[in-house]
Structure 1
Amino acid sequence: MNAEAPRSISDTWRAATRAAALVAIDPVGLGGASLRAGPGPVRERWLALLRHLLPEGTPIRRAPAGIDDDRLLGGLDLVATLAAGRPIVGRGILAEADGGIVVLAMAERLPGAVAGRLASVLDGRAVRLEREGLAATLETHLGIVALDEGREDDERPPEAVLDRLAFLIDLGDVSFRETGDPGLTPEAVAAARARLAGTSVSDAQLAALCGAAASVAIPSLRAPLLALRAARALAALDARADVSDEDVAEAFRLVLAPRARAFPPAEADVDEGEDGADEPPPPPDDPPPENDEPADETSEEPAQERPLTADELQNLVLEAAKAVLPEDLLAQLRSGLSGLKTSRVRGETTARAKAGVTGRPAGSRPGEPKRGARLDLVSTLRAAAPWQPLRKRSEPTGPGTPRVAVRREDFRVGVRKPTIRRTTIFAVDASGSSALNRLAEAKGAVELLLAQCYVRRDRVALVAFRDRAAELVLEPTRSLARAKRALAGLAGGGATPLARGIDAALACADAVRRKGEDPAIVLLTDGKTNIGRAGTPGREAAREDALAAAREARARGVVGLVVDISRAGQPLAQEIAAAMGARYLALPYADAERLSQAVSAALPPQGG
């Protein structure tokens, strides 16, 4: 097995370079490729090969992570518009790359909205601008190379983009010394590009690709069409006018195999192996002629010249697929590691909360409307107004001269104070003493608070502590149904580990803060504790541990609220609130609705 490892990795690089050649031949028809590899010489060598094989002068644009719509799609060119006195459309990266390639950096972090715009451009082959008073259509034919730097299996570019790219290449296991020269030249690729339109494919080959895609459970209808285009490009690269069966099999390996979600059915293996190979053909009805040589010639020639049927070709393609499909494919699919999921977009919350992009207005500042910042027209004109007499005297006037002379230094962009979403973490005492007192009413109050958080689009989390442990019953979510199910299944009984409940809520708050959101802890307790941080019983030690955890929450600056749900106010609950720097609410004899109203009023407004 160890001796075969370098060969398989070398095959991976060979297939990747073959895919690069096909992208260079037909970037628009094939859509491009997703290249999963970390930054390094292997990825750069593949990109350099693609640039080498493309025609000289082909535009290649790089789209950084977090690109805004103005730079991606284009928009109003403010400087040219003010100079000309009429709206001038500025071209974005996609329009600038017409006829070439756009390289998406960190595509696994691509927001869903940007992925949708890219998909629209790939489908319609045009950028349509309908905003800022503009209505323009810019013809755009391009391919995309999505650089995937994800480390986890579910960190992938959005499916809307992957579905439109022919090749899903994974170079994560390829070292630089195993990236040999593929022997591809720009001249051979240019010749293939010229003959691509004249290549033809048979109906049986098309049916075989569609059937093979269905046999490995590929749900996309685009995948077999991309494989068909790849087969035509392979034939053109090998200087053939007709697509061969080997081209169809290689197109399956390059395009369809990385998308496979199941092994081919066993019947595909049996047709040729059992019925065709082991058993001799049935004897002919007529006796053979006396001369054996002519009989052999006449029987062999039709077998060699007869084209394969669609079913036979599909079986041939599936046989070739088994060599490249991983043996543990089904196990990976069952555990959710197929690599075809929609990716999680990390860092999107922080990007939305950047000052100057979203939030409530907070004045203006000098600057140009870039990276999502919007022009403050009134402030811009106000800044330009004192200079009008001087500018009109120093510059020639005429019919085309704008009435207001605005310079770049006059530009003012709006400043916005970001609105940070809140995640409310409910830490609920589910011990026996609390259950006897107010646990049922506390559940009702939390459910009403969950509904209010849902309306505000805030996230909620639920921590329950009882017996000797505290657990995160519900991770931060905006799903009201999930929160209600977790709350309904919350059981009561056992001892009271108050310190561990506060620690668990703090751990959840730290995770929320790392994602750019504002955490708030609502602690519902009856003010009793008898289990310490170490899990050992003892009221005094448990009390000291709870106060220490509360002081740690205050040191971390977490907004807090302590709700005393006992039938009579407890001193320890007040001490916990003071140590946390949180507001204390004692609500004896209050029903769930009043408790919900009191908690909503006690929490300060969220950031922004």
Structure 2
Amino acid sequence: MIEAAALTADDASAGDGDPASERVWADALTAAALLALDPSGCGGLRLRAGPGPARDSWMTYLSALIPAGTPVRRMPSGIGDERLLGGLDLAATLKAGRPIAMRGMLAEADGGLLIAAMAERLGGETAAKLSLALDRGAVRPERTGAAEEVSTRFGLILLDEGIEEEEAPPEALIDRLAFSIDLSAYRGPLETDGFPLPEEIEAARERLSAASVGDEAMRALVGAALALGVASARAPILALRVARAAAALDGRPEASMDDCALAARLVLAPRATRLPAPPEDQQEEEPEDRQEEEPPEPPEDPDQDPPSEEPEPPPDESEAKTPEEILVEAAQAALPRDLLERMRAGVKLRSPASAGRKGEIARSLTRGRPIGVRPGAPRPGQRLNVVETLRNAAPWQPLRRRERGEETGEAATRVEVRKDDFRITRFKRARETCTVFVVDASGSSAFNRLAEAKGAVELLLAECYSRRDQVALITFAGKTVDLALPPTRSLARAKKLLAGLPGGGGTPLAAAIDAAGELAGKLARAGRTPAIVLMTDGRANIARDGAGDPPRAAEESLSAARSFAAQGHAALLVDISPRPRENAQALAGALKARYLPLPRADARRLNDAVRGATGR
């Protein structure tokens, strides 16, 4: 019988001989055996581990279990559509004078395994194509002129080498794989004795088609998935397939509760998002001080025979538990201890990658990462894709030769390219982000929080520098608005300017917003993504013409804010007054910016709040 163990990845760093550490390795080998037995049924496995002895030993064990002749393909992270999906073999087509199809890597992996190296770097388009192939069990070759699909059923292994939690393969792919194993911190023994052998896998494959899962086991697995907060409908389906494979490996015609418990631990536990509710009889226990005192025992009668001393047999707790409760407990035992604590505290188990660490994705004509081709004649500033142009022209050569009456001879070897054959390469690249800090240095703000604002801006500038983002600084006070720091990555220069930033005078808020909008427009036209952080108390008292007219200054600031909002740039207004003010909230509404009041906050707290509000 398969020796199933709990998956406790956070305990994996324990040394040799630690039970928790040994269970991590046992789960990894068990998942490898089940994947080798039924690659397409299990979908695949995500292995989070960098290059090292643990990953190499696991891959060696898996390779030993795979029957001879089973296709195994290794897919690089930057694979193109032609190699992945298949297409037209250009050289063979030009030589034969007719379309010759080329098999892609997905078709080559039919019946075996596809290993994706550096899976944390897979792009969304590649992940979508892999997901579609896993769902349909087939792939449609691209640009072959044929409409038929090529059957391909394979298991996918994602080699995840990410260091940070946010560095992970696309969720759409992980959701389609039964197993998720983490060996990144495992330092224990790498023995494989006692686990399935290749001949056992071969024999189990012959029994797999006859193995089944009963209705009670199905209901229990589905109920356990719901109790653990597993939202995906694929998870219980994958768990059923894993239970069936486990039964076939142990030589049983139908999956037992032990097989289902193994599936719950390996498939459902890594996907759990909550703890199941306790039974109703345990939700509210009666306090000890309210329990009734037991009545005193009556005095013993000397003439009466003593009662029998035979103790009552303890109740069998396993008989009182439903199959669903048994599977839930099995999955709970596989959860790491700190994960249980975080779930009890209601903390998110995983946060998405920070937005704002990259600029927006922009299409480009000449620079960036190729994302495909489009029809069209080449123009200045565009790149002609010669290979794709020839690929589209190749199938038409026999017809064009017959039109010219050139069946043989030297002219028949020429390739005629027409206007409709031209293909232009399309590119995409991430725009560089430029964070523009617009700091109110007027008398009211200087009196309130200018020092804290300076400190927060310095911290944010340092983080922008570490991400190689550009920063700019606009200050306004009195009757002037200054571009104190043009867009730059020079952190030392920015700190020097902030240190000498004076405070005092009026608040030309409308002119400052105009200057911020003008700079944001220039950045956008230059291919950058601007993000505006306006730090002010919102009290405008200097009009655009420099006159000290608070009512007109307030109207002009709102008008400037509405004009800025029409440009569609991201903005954040930080109210740095001691108490939140209505005029600052109204200004944020006109800017269509997020409003962030920060009373009684030092530079560090202000920095943390701005980072959270802007997703940085």
Using the size of structure 2 for normalisation, the TM-score is 0.61
Instruction: Give the superposition deviation at 1:421.
Output: 2.1
1:288-299 alignment runs, 5 A limit: none
Does residue 357 (structure 1) correspond to residue 340 (structure 2)? The answer is no
Is 2:106 the partner of 1:127? no
1:513 deviates by: 3.4
Give the equivalent residue in structure 1 for 2:599. none
The structural deviation recorded for 1:170 is: 1.1
Instruction: Give the whole-Å Cα distance in 1 for the aligned partners of 2:81 and 2:169.
Output: 18
Deviation at 1:347, TM superposition (A): 8.4
Aligned equivalent of 1:137: 149
CA distance in 2, matches of 1:150, 1:28: 25
Once residues 342 and 419 of structure 1 are traced to their aligned partners in structure 2, the CA distance between those partners, rounded to angstroms, is 18
The answer to whether the aligner puts 1:234 opposite 2:237 as a matched pair is no
Equivalent in the alignment of 1:467 = 450
Instruction: Give the CA deviation at 1:523.
Output: 2.2
Deviation at 1:422, TM superposition (A): 4.4
* TM alignment of 1:120-519, pairs within 5 A: 120-129=132-141, 131=143, 135-175=147-187, 177-267=189-279, 312-333=322-343, 338-339=349-350, 355=368, 357=370, 369=387, 375=389, 397=409, 402=412, 404-405=414-415, 421-433=431-443, 467-470=450-453, 497=454, 503=458, 506-507=461-462, 509-511=464-466, 513=468, 519=470
* Aligned partners of 1:42 and 1:179 also within 8 Å: no
Equivalent-residue separation in structure 2 for 1:550 and 1:239 (angstroms): 68
Match of 1:110 in 2: 122
Residues 105 and 528 (structure 1), Cα distance of their counterparts in 2 relative to 1, 3 Å cut: farther
Q: Distance in 2 between matches of 1:269 and 1:182?
A: 42
Residue 115 of structure 1 contacts residue 161 of structure 1 at CA under 8 Å; is this kept in 2? Answer: yes
Q: CA deviation at 1:587?
A: 6.5
CA distance in 1, matches of 2:143, 2:346: 44
Cα separation, 2, equivalents of 1:568 and 1:342: 35
Q: Is the CA contact 1:156–1:344 (under 8 Å) kept in the aligned structure 2?
A: no
Secondary structure of 1:198's match?
A: coil
The separation in 1 between residues aligned to 2:354 and 2:201, in whole angstroms, is: 34
Cα offset, 1:349, TM superposition:
7.9
In 1, are the aligned partners of 2:227 and 2:276 still within 8 Å (CA)? yes
Q: Percent identity?
A: 40
Equivalent residues of 2:49, 2:159 under 8 A apart: yes
Question: Partners in 1 of 2:127 and 2:94 — Cα distance?
Answer: 32
Offset at 1:114?
A: 2.0
Counterpart code for 2:69 = G
Structure-2 change in CA distance of 1:511 and 1:80 (3 Å): farther
Question: How big is the alpha-carbon RMSD for the aligned residues of Structure 1 and Structure 2?
Answer: 5.2
Structure 1 residue 269: Cα displacement? 9.6
How big is each residue's C-alpha offset from its partner over 1:308-336, in whole Å with a ceiling of 9 and x where there is no partner?
89x62222223333322223334434575
Counterpart contact for 1:37–1:172, Cα < 8 Å: yes
Over 3 Å counting, the alpha-carbon distance change for 1:111 and 1:588 in structure 2 is farther
Q: Which runs of 5+ in 1 are unaligned?
A: 272-299, 382-387, 437-464, 471-496, 530-542, 557-563, 578-585, 604-608
Show the counterpart of 1:282.
none
Distance in 2, matches of 1:363 and 1:501, equals 43
C-alpha distance in 1, partners of 2:450/2:219?
63
Secondary structure of the corresponding residue to residue 468 of structure 1: helix
1:449 match:
none
- The 1-side partners of 2:430 and 2:218 are apart by 52
SS at match of 2:67: coil
Structure 1 contact 148–156 (Cα < 8 Å) conserved: yes
Q: Which range is displaced more, 240-249 or 79-88?
A: 79-88
8 Å Cα contact 2:434/2:472 also seen in 1: yes
Change (3 A) 1:126 1:348: farther
Q: How far off its partner does 1:47 sit?
A: 1.4
Distance in structure 2 (CA, Å) of the matches to 1:164 and 1:549: 44
User: Which residue identity is paired with 2:35?
Assistant: V
User: 1: distance between equivalents of 2:243 and 2:171?
Assistant: 23
CA distance in 2, matches of 1:567, 1:218: 51
Does the CA contact (< 8 Å) of 2:43 and 2:156 recur in 1? yes
Question: Residue 35 of structure 2 is aligned with which of 14, 23, 30?
Answer: 23
Assess, with a 3 A threshold, how the Cα gap between structure 1 residues 183 and 328 changes in structure 2: closer, same or farther.
Answer: closer
What is the DSSP-based 3-state SS (H/G/I as helix, E as strand, rest coil) of the residue aligned with 2:209? helix
Task: Summarize deviations over 1:146-187 as a string: whole Å, max 9, x none.
Answer: 111222333322221111111111112322634443432111
Given that 1:193 and 1:236 are in contact with CA atoms closer than 8 Å, whether structure 2 keeps it comes out as yes
List gaps (5 residues or longer) in structure 2: 1-10, 284-312, 373-377, 395-400, 495-505, 520-542, 547-552, 570-616
Q: How far apart are the structure 2 equivalents of 1:422 and 1:343? A: 15
| Residue equivalent to 1:274 | none
* C-alpha distance after superposition, 1:514-538 (max 9, x if no partner): 6xxxx46362523799xxxxxxxxx
Residue pair 1:101, 1:142 contacting (<8 A) in 2 also: yes
Question: What is the identity, as a one-letter code, of the residue corresponding to 1:526?
Answer: A
* Partner Cα distance (2:268, 2:190) in 1: 24
Take 1:357 and 1:188, find their aligned partners in 2: how far apart are those partners?
46
Partner residue of 1:82 out of 94, 110, 123: 94
Q: Secondary structure at the match of 1:525?
A: strand
CA distance 1:364–1:340, shift in 2 (3 Å): closer
**Paired amino acid for 1:239:** G
Residue 342 to residue 265, structure 1, CA distance change in 2 (3 Å): farther
SS at match of 2:269: helix
Residue 173 to residue 5, structure 1, CA distance change in 2 (3 Å): farther
| SS of residue in 1 equivalent to 2:222 | helix
Worse-matched range after superposition: 191-200 or 415-424: 415-424
Distance in 1, Cα, partners of 2:194 & 2:266: 16
Structure 2 residue matching 1:423: 3-state secondary structure:
strand
The answer on whether the counterparts of 1:76 and 1:88 sit within 8 Å (CA) in structure 2 is yes
CA contact (8 A) 1:263 1:329 kept: no
Question: For residue 456 of structure 1, what is the aligned residue in structure 2?
Answer: none
Higher mean alpha-carbon deviation, 502-511 vs 86-95, is at 502-511
Once residues 50 and 344 of structure 1 are traced to their aligned partners in structure 2, the CA distance between those partners, rounded to angstroms, is: 38
Could you say which residue in structure 2 is the equivalent of 1:521? 472
Aligned to 2:613: none
1:52 aligns with 2:64: yes
